[in-house]
């Protein structure tokens, strides 16, 4: 039965290994990261957010405190890297009220969960988008999703499960545009230097289900979207290209972008025809702006703020005075490394009793142009209460980027851990030691089997004893091989696929003692 499937999944989540037993500080970093990942497991998020009640022969679906009467039945569609766990959670919750569903999931994910009995499910699981690239399989899955929802009536409820990676798993082109034509145009835009907003604008305009089109096809059924965000700030129109969100970009803007990069004149006739049809539907666009989305409710059920808060709570339990500095970290890891090192220097001076709490806050203002700080009240009140005799934990989250100039093996988290360690090496720290974990919550950092890595203030000095030059590895973007070689891979964090993704978690420990990692 399916109940055993869900129990097996829950058991699998509990058994995710977060590294072998090492020293105290190393274990603390891994434990904080593990707690943050556990807090955003899709299965648990759905189970905590959605429920069904029965009263006087009337069934109600409860979503985030809102109630929906179940008049006919509930259908489920979904797409994204974390949708498998979300689907298990929603199917168990709905029980007999679930009619049917289709979800588009990454290639190979069902094999990695081979102990699950998918045959007993009312939901059809379709794999596609190998290597996170749209393909014929994911296009077929999105076509099946469209066929399901366009049959729904006003008595039906459809739950849409959305997570990062959903765009590649929902690639159905609009009209007679072929998948190859669509992908080629997006590729050309990228080669011309178009930014993500411009590419997203064009992508939505030539897609059958993105940019709010899925929600429109669902009408008149009630649409309830459960979203696990992998984008800074949770912009609903960006996550999976906003299939259930009103598209604020119009066709004229799309054409302007294509003309800007001299691509419009050479477009295939199929794409031009679709754009012309869209232009002739300005009345429809006006309707979208007004009230055509009143049948849609979107809920963000998980994001990196939730993971950061759980990390904060666990660090506090482990006797660190802790603060969330940011959940919107972005930019190149080289710049982020310098910013982090400068911020650490401020707190180090505090623990050495060279500056006061108020002076810490004053000096942090110098970095407001480099980092978007978390809730001001939280940051100010927390730091004002800090004790100069107690170790500190700084929590940050987001998704930095790496400029790849070499041909080595690694990912942004490993690059950041090593780059930050080198920045620490350049500075003088008396009476304190600094330790740092940078990991992706999905468990995968770049094309490697590691989620990230751990760095610390004397790593550069220690690596010299093993005849390793960290700068060489950084320049070649080969940080995986550095950490794999250094101390026999002790500082790589390997956890496997976690089944979730809310970007990256960064944990900085500043300790007054001189214990080694």
Classify residue 290: in a domain, yes or no: yes
Domain enclosing residue 231, as ranges: 41-302
Which of 3-12, 246-255, 308-317, 392-401 is predicted least confidently? 3-12
Q: Assess whether pLDDT exceeds 60 at residue 287.
A: no
| pLDDT, averaged across the chain | 90
CA distance 224 to 363: 45
Q: Are residues 180 and 79 in the same domain?
A: yes
Determine, yes or no, domain membership for 516. no
- Does residue 20 fall inside a structural domain? no
Domain match, 129 and 150 both: yes
- Please check the confidence at residue 20 and state whether its pLDDT lies above 50: no
Which DSSP category does 244 fall into? T
Using a pLDDT cut of 90, give the percent of the chain over it: 79
> Which of 302, 332, 363 represents a domain boundary (last residue)?
302
CA angle (165 as vertex; 93, 118 as ends), nearest 5 = 40
Residues 46, 191: one domain? yes
Lowest-confidence segment of 265-279, 290-304, 313-327 by average pLDDT? 290-304
Regarding whether 317 and 272 lie in a shared domain, the answer is no
pLDDT in tens, 397-406: 999 999 889 9
- pLDDT tens figures, 59-93: 999 999 999 999 999 999 999 999 999 999 999 99
**pTM for the structure as a whole:** 0.88
Indicate whether 382 and 498 sit together in one domain.
yes
d(CA 246, CA 216): 9
pLDDT in tens, 317-355: 999 999 999 999 999 999 999 999 999 999 999 999 999
Domain boundary among 302, 323, 354: 302
Q: Tell me the percentage of the chain whose pLDDT exceeds 70.
A: 91
| Tens digits of residue pLDDT in 179-228 | 999 999 988 998 898 887 888 899 999 999 999 999 999 999 999 999 99
Nearest alpha carbon to residue 245 among 205, 206, 216: 216
Burial string for 184-215 (b: 16+ CB within 10 Å, else e) reads ebbebbeeeebeeebbbbbbbbbbbbbbbbbb
| CATH classification at residue 223 | 3.40.50.10180
DSSP track, 348-364? HHHHTTSS-HHHHHHHH
State the pLDDT at residue 279. Answer: 84
pLDDT at 7 over 50: no
List the beta strands (DSSP E) in 9-57. 50-55
């Amino acid at each position: 039965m399916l109940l055993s499937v869900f129990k097996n999944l829950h058991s699998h989540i509990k058994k995710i290994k977060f590294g072998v037993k090492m020293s105290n500080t190393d274990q603390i970093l891994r434990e904080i990261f593990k707690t943050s990942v556990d807090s955003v497991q899709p299965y648990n998020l759905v189970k905590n957010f959605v429920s069904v009640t029965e009263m006087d022969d009337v069934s109600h679906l409860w979503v985030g405190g809102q109630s929906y009467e179940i008049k006919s039945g509930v259908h489920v569609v979904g797409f994204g890297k974390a949708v498998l766990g979300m689907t298990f959670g929603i199917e168990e919750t709905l029980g007999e009220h679930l009619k049917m569903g289709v979800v588009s999931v990454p290639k190979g994910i069902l094999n990695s969960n081979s102990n699950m009995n998918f045959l007993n499910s009312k939901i059809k699981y379709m794999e596609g988008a190998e290597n996170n690239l749209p393909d014929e399989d994911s296009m077929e899955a999105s076509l099946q999703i469209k066929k399901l929802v366009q049959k729904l009536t006003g008595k039906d409820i459809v739950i849409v499960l959305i997570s990062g990676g959903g765009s590649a798993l929902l690639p159905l082109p609009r009209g007679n545009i072929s998948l190859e034509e669509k992908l080629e145009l997006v590729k050309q835009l990228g080669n011309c230097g178009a930014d993500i907003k411009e590419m997203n604008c064009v992508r939505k305009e030539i897609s059958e289900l993105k940019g709010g089109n899925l929600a429109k096809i669902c009408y008149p059924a009630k649409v309830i979207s459960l979203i696990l965000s992998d984008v800074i700030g949770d912009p609903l129109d960006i996550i999976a290209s906003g299939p259930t969100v009103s598209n604020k970009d119009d066709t004229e803007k799309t054409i302007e972008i294509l003309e800007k990069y001299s691509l419009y004149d050479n477009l295939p006739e199929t794409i031009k025809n679709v754009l012309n049809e869209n232009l002739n539907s300005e009345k429809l666009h006006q309707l979208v702006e007004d009230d055509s989305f009143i049948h849609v409710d979107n809920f963000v059920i998980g994001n990196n703020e939730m993971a950061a808060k759980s990390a904060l709570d666990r660090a506090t339990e482990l006797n660190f005075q802790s603060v969330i500095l940011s959940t919107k970290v972005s930019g190149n890891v080289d710049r982020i490394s310098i910013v982090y090192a400068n911020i650490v220097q401020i707190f180090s001076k505090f623990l050495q009793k060279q500056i006061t709490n108020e002076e810490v806050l004053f000096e942090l203002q110098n970095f407001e142009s480099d980092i978007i700080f978390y809730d001001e009240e939280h940051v100010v009140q927390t730091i004002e209460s800090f004790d100069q005799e107690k170790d500190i934990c700084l929590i940050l989250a987001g998704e930095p980027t790496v400029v790849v100039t070499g041909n080595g093996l690694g990912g942004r988290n490993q690059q950041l851990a090593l780059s930050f360690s080198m920045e620490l090496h350049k500075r003088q720290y008396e009476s304190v030691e600094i330790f740092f974990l940078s990991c992706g919550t999905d468990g995968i950092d770049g094309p490697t089997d590691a989620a990230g890595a751990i760095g610390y203030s004397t790593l550069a000095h220690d690596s010299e004893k093993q005849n390793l030059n960290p700068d060489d590895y950084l320049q070649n973007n080969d940080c995986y091989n550095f950490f794999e070689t250094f101390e026999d891979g002790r500082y790589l964090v390997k956890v496997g696929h976690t089944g979730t993704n809310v970007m990256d978690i960064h944990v900085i420990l500043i300790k007054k003692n001189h214990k080694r990692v």
